[in-house]
Amino acid sequence: MSDALSAFGNDPWWVIGLKALLIFVILVLLTLFNIWWERRVVARMQHRIGPNVHGPFGLLQSLADGVKLAFKEDLIPKAADKVVFVLAPVIVVVPAFVTFSVIPFGPEVNFFGHQTPLQLTDMPVAVLFVMAIASIGIYGIVLGGWSSGSTYSLLGGLRSSAQMISYEVAMGLALVAVFMYAGSMSTSDIVAAQDNLWFGLILLPSFIIYSIAMVGETNRAPFDLPEAEGELVGGFHTEYSSLKFALFFLAEYINMATVSALATTLFLGGWHAPFWIDEFWAGANQGYWPVLWFFGKVLFFIFIFIWLRGSLPRLRYDQFMAFGWKRLIPISLVWIVAVATMRVARNEGVFDEGFGSNPQFWLIVIGVLLAVLLLTFFLPEKDADEVAPTSAAPRTGGFPVPPMPAGGAVRGAAAPLVFRSEADREVSNG
């Protein structure tokens, strides 16, 4: 057991209970703040005012909406499986809280007279624990869609499960490079390994892949296909109301905070001071200051979520799934091989002398190349007007058949009919 892990398991019961209570309260308050912040930021992007009446700057608007939602009538459809219908929101929201139990908020501090780390607990496989617990939430979404007795809810639940499973594969592969570089799966050990240089700089492709996968994992725009109101009304929670709907809503925003906190822990140095402030301020990483750095980085990621929602259109479902399976996963595998090769070469002494003797330099070079390859997916395709439609040779006695669209043509674009015979043309005109 490492020195960092030896600090856990020695706290009295009241310290453990108080830590758990503080995590619950922080996540609930953070959810209320994030809802208000999202509405204000999107309103500013759209030249609107946003919530500004209830409380200073409208900060109590989220609380007012939550109370209003709790007092709404709670409806259960006749065709629903009542037991599963009630349990599904609970299955979604409980793992969202549990995953924060291994996230480090800061170093050891004096906590009401007791010396303890600012973290509920830790374990040798803490990151795998987060991935495993987060996966349980998928069952709640699938069961919620199935138990509603609605076609729209069922389709939304199935689409959500396919999306989350697909992007969990890419997310898990992005973390493998972090495990190899840190030499541990413990969250506190990974934060300690980034004392000098953040993994987000050294392992750039992993950082980009994780950042994309976490948006798909949380069903947020532009990847909010399970809740596409133009296709599925509201997705898996179409039939939910009152507190049950509030639990789904709460789980979505807590999951945003969870993946942002995990990205901060794995790639941005965790609770360490940003921009290496500790080099000229000795107390930047001591006491309760690291809590400020940690939540500042988390709010940065949440702002990215909000920014994407207010600026990008929703992807088509086949494009979204193809991007995950054909781009993210293959590039993740190539990157894992590159990182493993560099680690073995360093251990064998290949980089002891000569040009480019620093393995981190080569990792950054390879990472930039793979990141550029990954981002080429977002380049605009060739315009459909520039692609000449293909046509088959007319055949005697045939029927009017439209030409097949070319490789870059937009699906559904208008194209002239190709008549198989002169008689067909006369029939069409007459």
160-210, pLDDT tens digit by residue? Answer: 888 888 888 888 899 998 998 888 899 999 999 988 888 888 888 889 899
Number of helices (H), then strands (E), belonging to the chain: the values are 15, 2
User: Which sign, positive or negative, has the C-alpha torsion 188, 189, 190, 194?
Assistant: positive
The CA–CA distances, whole Å, from 184 to 123, 124, 319, 377 equal 10, 7, 35, 33
Mean pLDDT of the chain: 81
Question: What is the distance between the terminal CA atoms of the chain, rounded to a whole angstrom?
Answer: 86
Q: What are the contacts of 51-55 at 24+ separation with CB within 8 A?
A: none
Residue 408 CB burial class (10 angstroms; 0-12, 13-18, ≥19)? exposed
Q: What is the pLDDT of residue 415?
A: 44
> How many whole angstroms separate alpha carbon 40 and alpha carbon 61?
11
Q: Which of 233-247, 273-287, 352-366, 386-400 has the lowest mean pLDDT?
A: 386-400
pLDDT band with cut points at 50, 70 and 90 for residue 354:
low
User: pTM higher than 0.85 for the full model?
Assistant: no
Q: Are 418 and 403 in contact (CB under 8 A)?
A: yes
> How many whole angstroms separate alpha carbon 330 and alpha carbon 284?
40
428 pLDDT higher than 60: no
Q: Are 274 and 293 in contact (CB under 8 A)?
A: yes
**Mean pLDDT for the stretch of residues 396-400:** 62
Which residues, 6+ apart, have CB-to-CB distance to 398 below 8 Å?
A: 419, 420, 421, 424
Range from 86-95, 132-141, 345-354 that averages highest in pLDDT: 86-95
Residue 231 CB burial class (10 angstroms; 0-12, 13-18, ≥19)? middle
> How many whole angstroms separate alpha carbon 389 and alpha carbon 406?
6
361 pLDDT higher than 60: yes
Q: pLDDT tens digit string along 104-148?
A: 998 888 888 888 889 998 889 999 999 889 888 888 888 888 888
Q: Are 175 and 206 in contact (CB under 8 A)?
A: yes
Q: Are 76 and 85 in contact (CB under 8 A)?
A: yes
The CA–CA distances, whole Å, from 356 to 58, 197, 205, 338, 367 equal 55, 18, 20, 16, 15
- The shares of helix, strand and coil residues in the chain, as percent rounded to the nearest 5, are 65, 5, 35
> How many whole angstroms separate alpha carbon 224 and alpha carbon 217?
10
